[in-house]
Structure 1
Amino acid sequence: MKKISLFDGTAITLEEILDARSARAERQRAFLAEGGMSLISFALNMPGPVKQSVTARRVFEEGIREIRKDIESLSGTVPGAEKAASEKAASEISGKTAEKFTAETAKKTAAETSEKKAAEKAASETSGKMATEKGRVILREDVSHEMTGSQAFFLLNLPADRIKKKMTEIEEYHPLGRLFDIDVIGPDGVPLSRTQFGLPARTCMVCGENAKICARSGAHSAEIIAYTLNDLVHSYFRDKEADRVAICATRALLYEVSTTPKPGLVDRANQGSHSDMDYFTFVDSSATLCHWFRDMFCVGWDHADDSPESLFRRLQFIGKMADRAMFRATGGVNTHQGLIYAVTIIAAAIGKMMRTGSAEEIPEKHLIEECRKIGRCSLREKFGCSGISPETGEEKDKNKAPEPLRAAESESSLINSGREAAKGNETPAYGARGEAAEGFPHALNIGLPAIRKWLAQGCSLNDASCAALLSIIAETEDTNMIRRGGNEEAQRRREEAREILRNMTAETIVPDISKLDSDYIRHHLSPGGSADILAISLLFCFCEEEGILTGDHA
């Protein structure tokens, strides 16, 4: 496994390094000449001749985010800031500027002593300065990215000692802190040192001893230092992104079961047409699967250079372990076996693309193509096909609206068995295997657009998900519905769903589907495959929301 590297960049000369240091010092002096109480000067500790790369830029952006958070947390501690905020609010209400408000206040106190008036004037100027411009705590900031490295400057209206303590915490406790070089400089132009505040000296990134001593003695080779830093960065970004994707997947499972009402399905109101499971059965299963989703992402990340076939074999193994964990959590009840298959492919594909790509956000259309490659391995294994049209020998039209596809029921194992043709049907129903091999068309072309549509009309996510589920039922051959009610009943229910949707408004979503729920329960119907597609739609929705995916799959 090749790790991501800080040092996949262009080497620069020693002269260029020294010139960059001189330029940095000159810029620090220029910033301080503009005023302010302190200056933050931020860059990366990157030993060696390579100072800029895609990974280095990502590390730098992590540092910038942390610095801005700490500046924001300290902004409320500036003397006079609270008063400034109240003065600004008062001036906005009255239609006056902060300066006029302060002047009127001064006029009313004309009879007071000159000493008190002078103090009020000073306070007025300070608070007015803070109040008249949003974000005035940061007087000026500048971020640049050169071949000699990225750097940032923040000129602040904050005391240098407070800033130094916060910046030292970032360097000490952030997982990437050892790579951060954050100088805090006072108005006199002198950088504040850790020893001034009784703070510990920086430690060596390799052995944990005093960093300056190790650097001066050359205790560690450049290769060892590079390996240590690359391992640190690789693990940080892999773990961070794995957590984000696992959280999105777990949320999708929990939101799907929590969506209420749902026709014939377990939700917060009832057990639907199921006597062997309830809402909390699904909660237990979802909680158990969270770390497995994380592992699925990591398999894609760690084996990004593998062929789709090799990656699929690895995913089969972890999918089986997730299956067993689910059954242990539910006492033998199958709640999510279909979704385990789908999330395995999606999470691994995201992991692979994040590992090999340069962008933090993945275009949905690129992710879908990766899912197709992995999903077709399953079809080839079970059915001897891979989503290729038997008539033309070419790949099926990816942009065409999907024909009704039998959604696999949640009662079946989708990682271990394909969905055979339903009784009375001539064509095979590939279920979740087919859905994955075609790039989850029903989630992306029906479920997700429906969620967006109803959210845009002001619906809650719960109601939008209810309506989206009905859209999925209307356009999907759900093998669970066929098994429970037969082909004719399943077709009648699709037509019924279409009719309800034609007249549905945001206000009628819940009452319309509540009636349908009662009817489905009476007839023991349960669109479990459609519920899986809703969960996948929610997963894509949450990944977009979190900035993991960009929604341009069309």
Structure 2
Amino acid sequence: MSVEKITQNALKALLYEVVTNPKPGLVDPVDVGSHPDMNVYLFINSSLSLENYFRQAAKIGADFTGQDLRQMFEQLRQAGIEAEKAMFKTTHNINTHKGAIFSLGLFGCASSYCENNNQGEFEVIQQMTKGLVKHDLGKRNETAGEKQFLQYGKGGVRAEAEAGYPLVRDVALPFLAQTEGDLNVRLLDTLMKIVSAIEDSNLIKRAGNIEVVSWAHNQAKKYLALGGYGTQPGKQFMLELNRIFKEKNYSLGGSADLLIITIFMALQREII
């Protein structure tokens, strides 16, 4: 698969995620959820501002010939820093896609690397991010991720990357592969499958406690047990959940990021 195709699939993944609705507390075309400073147009602009970055990420993966994949990750990180600047310039300093710059950049780079090397994306990402939690966390406490690591011992997205994104590999992608029907329903149900298993750092930050995680798990499991968005009871439940999320100012930013990379991998593997 060409660098261009990987770039297109990365952009599609961002755009598919934002138009999926109704997502509890998240921005979609119908609703801004718990994000009054954002809207769907901002997300579209932000996505397009990252096109060059995804092309760069894929090129880094295509061109890398070294043995230590952490060096490939370092190159990607430098490109990611510039991508964040481009995003913030486009969004007037609103953080729309910082998490996706990290995760989707990793997947674009790894996918491209895998084209020339007989390995899978998930294992390549593990090799790229080896030692990342230890390297990045526990020293400072500036970002939400750093604070949560010190407070709750949770490694967040870095730990997820270092483990090779098991939630995407073992839960979300197989789940999406066996869903059928309307793409909006399939992606919405996959989001809630992710919510049923993730410790969402964005949700923990918004709630100010870790107990919110088991509540969110239970809500997502109830929704899936009702048959998901393709059923009337599932639909009603989701609309009510959306209302609760907005009332409590909860958001599922971590889950949205994992949905984005699940969509990307599904596009790469022609599952959707």
Normalized against structure 1, the TM-score is what?
0.45
Which amino acid is the alignment partner of residue 330 of structure 1?
T
Q: How does 1:355-434 map to 2 (within 5 A)?
A: 355-357=116-118, 366-383=120-137, 419-420=145-146, 422=148, 425-426=151-152, 428-434=153-159
1:449 aligns with 2:171: no
Answering whether residue 246 of structure 2 is matched by residue 528 of structure 1, we say: no
Backbone CA RMSD of aligned residues: 2.3
Whole-angstrom CA distance in 1 between matches of 2:243 and 2:211: 20
Alpha carbons 1:256, 1:535 under 8 Å: kept: yes
Contact 1:418/1:433 (CA < 8 Å) preserved in 2? no
2:202 and 2:8 map into 1 onto residues whose CA distance is 28
- Is the 2:122–2:169 contact (alpha carbons within 8 Å) kept by the matching residues of 1? no
More strand by share: 1
Distance 1:424 1:299, change over 3 A: closer
User: For the residues of structure 2 that align with 1:546 and 1:452, how far apart are their CA atoms?
Assistant: 6
Aligned mates of 1:546, 1:423 — CA distance in 2: 35
Identify the residue that residue 479 of structure 1 maps to in structure 2: 201
Counterpart of 2:235, as a letter, is V
Aligned position for 1:513: 238
Counterpart selection for 1:254 from 4, 7, 15: 15
Deviation at 1:541, TM superposition (A): 0.4
Are the equivalent residues in 2 in contact too, given 1:300–1:348 (CA < 8 A)? Answer: yes
The aligned residue for residue 214 of structure 2 is: 491
* Separation (CA, whole Å) in 1 of partners of 2:129 and 2:240: 37
| 8 Å Cα contact 2:58/2:112 also seen in 1 | yes
| Distance in 1 separating the partners of 2:204 and 2:237 | 23
1:50-61 equivalences in 2 (<5 Å): none
Cα distance in 2 for partners of 1:314, 1:377 equals 16
> Aligned equivalents of 1:324 and 1:424: distance in 2?
27
Deviations 1:266-323 (A, max 9, x none): 0011100011111111100111112210111101111232522221221111010111
Matched, 1:292 2:17: no
Residues 25 and 245, structure 2, Cα contact 8 Å, conserved in 1: yes
> What letter corresponds to residue 182 of structure 2 in structure 1?
S
Provide Cα deviations, 1:116-159, integer angstroms capped at 9, x if missing partner.
xxxxxxxxxxxxxxxxxxxxxxxxxxxxxxxxxxxxxxxxxxxx
The alpha-carbon deviation at position 504 of structure 1 amounts to: 2.1
Offset of residue 370 of structure 1: 0.7
Alpha-carbon distance in structure 1 between the residues aligned to 2:54 and 2:156: 21
Distance 2:114 2:165 in 1: 17
Alignment of 1:147-162 (within 5 A): none
- Tell me which residue corresponds to 1:339: 100
Secondary structure at the residue paired with 1:376?
A: coil
Q: Which runs of 5+ in 1 are unaligned?
A: 1-239, 358-362, 385-415, 548-554
Map 1:103-252 → 2, pairs under 5 A: 241-252=2-13
Q: Which amino acid aligns with 2:88?
A: F
Q: Which residues in structure 2 correspond to 1:276-287 (within 5 Å)?
A: 276-287=37-48
Q: Do the aligned partners of residues 280 and 454 (structure 1) sit closer, same or farther apart at CA in structure 2, a change above 3 Å counting?
A: same
Q: How far 1:381 sits from its partner (Å)?
A: 2.1
Contact 2:24 2:251 survives alignment (8 Å): yes
Q: 1:311 to 1:418 in 2, by over 3 A?
A: farther
Greater Rg, structure 1 or structure 2?
Answer: 1
Call closer, same or farther: CA 1:510–1:287 in 2, change over 3 Å.
farther
What is the deviation of 1:450?
2.4
- Which structure has more relative contact order (CA 8 Å, sep 6+)? It is 2
Q: Deviations over 1:205-247 (max 9, x none)?
A: xxxxxxxxxxxxxxxxxxxxxxxxxxxxxxxxxxx71110011
**For 2:240, what is the secondary structure of its paired residue?**
helix
Select which of 176, 179, 192 maps to 1:470.
Answer: 192
Q: CA deviation at 1:425?
A: 5.0
In 1: Cα distance, 2:243 partner to 2:173 partner: 26
2:128 match: secondary structure: helix
Distance (Å, rounded) in 2 between the aligned partners of 1:252 and 1:433: 20
Q: Distance in 1 between matches of 2:117 and 2:186?
A: 35
Aligned to 1:319: 80
Tell me the residue number matched to 1:105: none
Q: Match of 2:223?
A: 500
Contact 1:289 1:322 (8 Å CA) reproduced: yes
Provide the C-alpha distance between the structure 1 equivalents of 2:150 and 2:268, rounded to a whole number of angstroms: 39
In 2, Cα distance between the equivalents of 1:424 and 1:383? 8
The residue type equivalent to 1:338 in the other structure is G
Q: CA deviation at 1:423?
A: 8.5
TM-superposed CA distance for 1:259, in Å, is 0.4
C-alpha spacing 1:312/1:424, structure 2 compared with 1 (3 Å):
closer
- 2:137–2:146: 8 Å Cα contact kept in structure 1? no
Alpha-carbon distance in 2 for matches of 1:298, 1:546: 24
Kept after mapping to 2: 8 A contact 1:450/1:464: no
Post-superposition offset of 1:503: 2.0
- Aligned to 1:487, what secondary structure does the other structure show? coil
Superposed displacement of residue 454, structure 1: 2.3
